Structure 1
Amino acid sequence: MQIMNRKRRVWLVILAVGIAAAWIIFIKERFVMNELSPTVSFVQHHMTNPNGTLGTYLKDAPSEDADIVAGREALSESLGLWMQYAVAKNDQVLFEQGYDLLTTYFLMPQNYIAWKLDAEGTSHVTTNALGDDFRIVGALLKAADQWEQGREEKLATASDIVRTLTQSVRNKGYYVDFHDFANGHSPDTLSLVYVDLRALQAMEQHEMLEPGTYAKYESLLKSMPDDGLFYPKTFNVETKKYTYDDTINLIDQLIVANHLTATDRTPDKLIAFLKKEFNTRHRLPGQYKRSERIPAVSYESPSVYGLAILLAVQSGDPKWAKQLYNHMITMRSLDNAYPGGYVFDGNTHLFDNLFPLLGETELNKFLEKY
């Protein structure tokens, strides 16, 4: 009997030690993940221009083509992602800084958002980018719902932008990729990465769109074909046909898949493929050959992992999200001169820092529910 009691006490001690160790690991992981990401500090100290705009590349370079971003030029894409991060992190001060950048530099007198500025904050383009506009408007509406301060002003700004989009950035009754406000030209293509259903839903809920607009674009994504795995790149608003790229960019696929999670059409095939690829290769190459389903490149993109984390979170899959996160942060701070940054060969693109930052932030919020 004494031997049995002794064994029971030993097992109880072992069990208690195991539980304590597991709890310590859990608390440590939760504490580390909820600290302010070092990527924020990297962006603020190394990717921010003197006027507060966000440079696209770490290294400066002259602009040789107005249609191609270079060096420290600033993008509306970056501003939208930064504003989304501020809302997700519940950082009102940071959001207000982004809002000031929007109204001071990016918002043109015709109430469209210039897609690109030079490092000094001057626009040399006369076009917008629909997906960036939707992202910014979505962030404005979330901020207006989240914080009372400045609510009416942000709603008014969002309404002005949406009104311009509806009046000018449409063709055949559909929003299209851009409008050239200098010559009045709009294309006949709508890139599916731009069909931001959550932003469109918020616009309709705030009565900035005609009733039924959201349902129209929801149907567009729900009814789009796939090739058995990958999604098309564009929808032609005149012919109503979808087109595919021969080389698939995973960033595009993941953005469309994240949009789809707002519907009842789940991106199961893509998720299953990505999980298999990650388990087999222990990485996700940035591009794939569509017909062969094999990598077209050897490089990895931090943006792919950030977007895949967002997809895992939207799909309610914390295990996969944490696997992706743990791999993603092995790519961070590799350059000792730029802690917190996803810097390779002395350079980086800003979205390769902002998408990972968004994924990390949403994962932290997701894990807090457990």
Structure 2
Amino acid sequence: MDKPIHRTAIAILIVILLGGCTWKQQQHSAQPEPAKPVLSGEYFMTHHLMTNQGMIQTSLAEQPTYLSESLGLWMDYLVRKKDQTSFDQQVDVLRTQFLLEHDLLSWQIESHQKSQVNALVDDLRVVTALQKADQLWQKSVYQTTAKKIAKALKDKNMFKGMLTDYYDASTKQTSHTITLSYLDPKAIKELVSLHLFTEQMMNNQLAILKNAPRQKGFFPKSYDIVKKVYSFDQEINLIDQLYTALYAERAQVDTSVIMKWLKTNFQKEGKLYGRYKLSTLQPAVTYESPSVYALVILYALKQGEDDFAKDVYHRMKELQIQDPLKPYYGGYMNEKDTHSFDNLLPLIAERELLNEKVIQ
């Protein structure tokens, strides 16, 4: 057989098999959704970073580490895809592996040891995914689990009435700072819908976003609840800034300066870098990040900038291994390794573009 034809035949077979895998999962769903093709990034996740128990490894290292961040992002993706079978598997992973005795999530599991510290951002993301699942599939375990975690956040993860970065169960101490990129209005509203927060409590949290000072349009990194002081980093970490901008938009805070800066830089350079110097707004690093591009896409969609979102998507996909015959097909690789975050966020962005019919 001619070699190019042979390669094409194998590639077509892989695509057919991927579609078959989706059908097999969906047919057992309580309320089956029409089968959706498995995205190449999803194939990479399930074949290279997921264990037989459904745990997501952070990298390809021999000694795996598992993060509540990965769990929450994967649950977010599965809700957007409406894949109940896979979502239920992750609910089991959540309850059996990540939940600590006091109902917060261990932020990291390493060498089979659970950290006794949680991360607010991850717990809120899981609560939001569970609440979305409850709306979709009305299964009691979703809301009961969400309420357990949310109540623990209220009881353990607050200082002077404010949500903070973490709670350390080993020392019974709560952080006194809040990172602005953790304050998702959508997630905090879920605490109200679960009857754990009042509207006033929610408004108190969002006031930190709404009252934040800006430097050249960019947000501070964190807020110290004791000192009542905002702190800026000398470098703009675009992951933090984009999450904060996305959440600020949800809180009806004007972020148009950031969007204009992103569009101008992308159109000029054809790319965006991971970090920029706050003083000069010049790149502080030479690398691109698929996670940055994914967040730009989600942020652009929020602002109705569909064309910009599509342009950034095409650049993001150039960083992905798209040849089905390559060993790490579908992955966003950094030479011979990767990070779950840099694969999960692009997957979420791609699914959202499909859901919004910006791409097909």
Report TM bin, short chain: 0.7 to 0.9
Choose 181-190 or 347-356, whichever is displaced more. Answer: 181-190
Q: Within 5 Å, which residues of 2 pair with 1:73-92?
A: 73-92=65-84
Tell me the equivalent position of 2:21.
none
Instruction: Give the Å deviation of 1:205.
Output: 2.0
The residue aligned with 1:307 is 295
- The percent of aligned pairs where both chains have the same amino acid is 35
2:95 maps to which residue? 103
Q: Which residue does 2:44 correspond to in 1?
A: 42
The answer as to whether partners of 1:56 and 1:75 remain within 8 angstroms in 2 is yes
Distance 1:368 1:309, change over 3 A: closer
Distance 2:70 2:41 in 1: 14
Instruction: Report what 1:16 is aligned to.
Output: none
1:194 Cα deviation from its structure 2 partner = 0.8
Q: Secondary structure at the match of 1:212?
A: helix
User: Who is 1:361 aligned against?
Assistant: 351
- Cα distance in 2 between the residues matched to 1:117 and 1:211: 35
Contact 2:185 2:206 (8 Å CA) reproduced? yes
Query: Which residue does 1:352 correspond to in 2?
Result: 342
| Aligned 8 A contact 1:257 1:311 in 2 | yes
Give CA-to-partner distance per residue, 1:327-356, whole Å, 9 cap, x none.
100111068211110012111011000010
Aligned equivalents of 1:369, 1:308: Cα separation in 2: 16
Q: Confirm or deny: 8 A CA contact 2:217 2:255 kept in the other structure.
A: no
Q: Which of 120, 141, 151 pairs up with 1:163?
A: 151
Contact 2:179-2:221 within 8 A present in 1 as well: yes
Alpha-carbon separation, structure 2, partners of 1:59 and 1:283:
29
SS at match of 1:242: strand
Conserved in 1, the CA contact under 8 Å of 2:310 and 2:359? Answer: no
After alignment, is 50-59 or 334-343 more displaced?
A: 334-343
2:282 to 286, 289, 294: 294
CA distance in structure 2 between the aligned counterparts of 1:36 and 1:315, rounded to whole angstroms? 28
Q: Separation in 2 of the partners of 1:343 and 1:368?
A: 26
Question: Is it true that 1:180 corresponds to 2:182 in the alignment?
Answer: no
Q: Report the CA distance between 1:369 and its aligned residue.
A: 11
1:117 counterpart residue number: 109
Question: Within 2, Cα distance between the matches of 1:36 and 1:216?
Answer: 41
Q: Determine whether 1:133 maps to 2:123.
A: yes
Distance 1:36 1:368 in 2: 18
The alignment status of 1:342 with 2:344, answered yes or no, reads no
Structure 1 residues 139 and 161, CA gap change in structure 2 (3 angstroms): same
Unpaired stretches in structure 1, ≥5 consecutive residues: 1-33, 62-71
| Superposed CA RMSD | 1.7
**Cα 1:249/1:366, change in 2 over 3 Å:** same
- Following the alignment from structure 2 to structure 1, what is the Cα–Cα distance between the partners of residues 246 and 293? 13
2:304 corresponds, among 308, 313, 316, to 316
2-structure distance, mates of 1:60, 1:294: 37
Q: 1:106 to 1:124 in 2, by over 3 A?
A: closer
Describe the superposition over 1:7-32 as per-residue Cα deviations: whole angstroms up to 9, x where unpaired: xxxxxxxxxxxxxxxxxxxxxxxxxx
- What amino acid sits opposite 1:316 in the alignment? G
Instruction: Give the partner amino acid of 2:121.
Output: G
Q: 1:259 aligns with which of 215, 230, 247?
A: 247
Letter of the aligned partner of 2:127 in structure 1?
A: V
User: 5+ unaligned residues in a row in structure 2: which ranges?
Assistant: 1-35
224-233 or 131-140: bigger deviation? 224-233
What amino acid maps onto 1:56 in structure 2? T
Matched residue, 1:20:
none
Number of positions where the alignment pairs a residue of Structure 1 with one of Structure 2: 323
Quote the residue 2:272 is aligned against. 284
One-letter amino acid matched to 2:266: F
1:133-163 CA-partner distances (Å, limit 9, x unpaired): 0000011111111112x2x221111111111
Paired residue for 1:143?
133
Q: Distance in 2 between the 1:308 and 1:242 partners?
A: 24
- Asked if 2 retains the 8 angstrom alpha-carbon contact of 1:141 and 1:154, the reply is yes
Per-residue deviation, 1:325: 0.5
Residue 242 in structure 1 maps to residue 234 in structure 2: no
State the shift of 1:214 in Å.
Answer: 1.9
Look up the match of 1:52.
54
Deviation by residue 1:286-332 (Cα, 9 ceiling, x = unmatched): 00111111000000000000010000111111100100101100111
Quote the Cα distance in structure 1 between the aligned partners of 2:149 and 2:308.
Answer: 37
Q: Which residue type is aligned with residue 185 of structure 1? A: Q
Asked if the contact 2:306/2:358 (under 8 Å) is kept, the reply is no
Take 1:302 and 1:308, find their aligned partners in 2: how far apart are those partners?
Answer: 10
Tell whether the 8 Å contact from 2:162 to 2:204 is kept in structure 1 after alignment: no
Runs of 4+ residues deviating >4 angstroms: none
